[in-house]
Amino acid sequence: MSVSLAMTVNGKPVAADVDARTLLVDFLRNQLSLTGTHVGCDTAQCGACTVHVDGQAVKSCNVLALQVQGASIVTIEGLIAEDGTMHPMQEAFRDCHGLQCGFCTPGMVMSAIDLVNRHPRADEATIRAELEGNLCRCTGYHNIVKAVRQGAAAMGK
């Protein structure tokens, strides 16, 4: 069954007819070619597919595109300014070596921004607890935690 869909993605209006069972992540990757959002597990465990829906971090592999009808979606691609400047959290991940293979990174950055929005002065324990829904197999989280603290400080300025 095909249904009409309209939403805002990275600040631009988007409309499409999609199969009703289309997942948000597949809509973003396959229809909009926004391949920065990744699929790592299919069971909402790894968080590689995390995007922002109306400002909140959501695992897009467990949401139907139809469920976010009319919403404003931001993906990793949408964090970059017109002139190519990265978001302070993206910069912090680079400065702190908070990524290795890069596959979990977009989801990790989207979760980190949501975390800082809710806990602007989060300590290490809070950051670790809040990142529980995003798996990274490369970094051991050490430098991710460092990056989130640095990114939080930069976002607060």
Partner 1 sequence: MGANDTTGLASVIGQPVLRKEDARFLTGTGQYTDDVSMPRQTHAYFLRSPHAHAAIRAIDVVKAKGLPGVIDIFTGADLTGVNGLPCGWLITGSDGKPMNEPPHPVLAQGKVRYVGDAVALVIAETVDQAKDAAEAIVVEYDVLPAVVNVVDALAPGAPQLHGEAPGNKCYTWALGDRSAVEAAFAKAAHVTSLDIVNNRLVPNAIEPRAALASYNRAEDAYTLYVTSQNPHVERLLMTAFVLGLPEHKVRVIAPDVGGGFGSKIYLYAEETAMVWASKRINRPIKWVAERSESFLTDAHGRDHVTHAELALDKDGKFLALRVQTTANMGAYLSTFASCIPTILYATLLAGQYTTPAIWCEVTAAFTNTAPVDAYRGAGRPEATYVVERIVHQAAVEMGIPQDELRRRNFIRAFPYQTPVALNYDIGNYDQTLDAAMEMADVAGFGARRDESQKLGKLRGLGYASYIEACGLAPSNVAGALGARAGLFEAGEVRVHPTGSVTVFTGSHSHGQGHETTFAQIVAARLGVPVDNVSVVHGDTGRVPFGMGTYGSRSLAVGGTAIVKALDKIVAKGRKIAAHLLEAAETDIEFKDGKFSVAGTDRSKTFAEIALTAYVPHNYPLATLEPGLNETAFYDPTNFTYPAGTHICEVEIDPDTGVVEVAAFTACDDFGTVINPMIVAGQVHGGVAQGLGQALLEHCVYDRDSGQLLTGSMMDYALPRADDLPSFTVDTKVTPCTHNPLGAKGCGEAGAIGAPAAMMNAVMDALAAVGVTHLDMPASPQRVWNAIRQARDPALVGHA
Mask for 64-103, x = binds partner 1 (CB under 8 A): -----------xxx-xx-----x---x--xxx-x-xxxxx
Residue 26 vs residues 102, 106, 145: alpha-carbon distances, Å? 19, 16, 29
Q: If binding is defined by CB under 8 A, does position 106 make contact with partner 1? A: yes
CA pair distance 122, 150, nearest whole angstrom: 11
Report d(CA 57, CA 115) in Å as an integer.
9
Binding string, residues 23-62; x marks residues near partner 1 by CB under 8 A = -----------xxxxxxxxxx-xx-x--------------
Q: Which residues, 6 or more positions from 140, have their beta carbon under 8 angstroms from its beta carbon? A: none
Which residues contact partner 1 (rule: CB under 8 A)? 21, 34-43, 45-46, 48, 75-77, 79-80, 86, 90, 93-95, 97, 99-106, 109, 124-125, 127-129, 131-132, 134-145
